[in-house]
Amino acid sequence: MPNPFNPTTVVAFDVPQPTHVRLAIYDVSGTLIRTLLDQQLEPGHKRVTWDGKDAAGGDVASGVYFYRLETTAFSSTRKMILLR
């Protein structure tokens, strides 16, 4: 994932076994911006693209955002910087 990014970025991850995966974007105050993925996935390498838009389809402002990747056995939060 390039950081900073403009206008899109890719979140890549591996799924070692079938599991439910949720990938969501939050702003610095912890407000949910958009859920990119919320479904059962089969094992393999996955790539999900975020286009810098919120749930309503509007462009978000430049700034710091976080993505949270959650499965039944794992969770991780990483920082991203969007520059417009």
Task: Give me the residue label for tokens 């499965």.
Answer: 71
The reply to whether 20 falls in a domain is yes
The reply to whether 34 falls in a domain is yes
Position 1 confidence tier, pLDDT thresholds 50, 70, 90:
low
Distance CA 46, CA 13 (A): 5
The reply to whether 1 falls in a domain is no
Position 34 confidence tier, pLDDT thresholds 50, 70, 90:
very high
The reply to whether 55 falls in a domain is yes
Asked if pLDDT for residue 41 goes beyond 70, the answer is yes
| Number of domains into which the chain is organized | 1
Domain hosting 65: range is 9-82
The reply to whether 22 falls in a domain is yes
Specify the pLDDT at position 3.
Answer: 73
Position 7 confidence tier, pLDDT thresholds 50, 70, 90:
confident
Provide, rounded to the nearest whole percent, the portion of the chain with pLDDT above 90. 88
Q: What is the DSSP string of 4-61?
A: SBSS-EEEEEEESSSEEEEEEEEETT--EEEEEEEEEE-SEEEEEEE-SB-TTSPBPP
Asked if pLDDT for residue 71 goes beyond 70, the answer is yes
Contacts of 50 (CB under 8 A, 6+ apart): 8, 9, 10, 11, 25, 34, 36, 67, 80
Specify the pLDDT at position 84.
Answer: 83
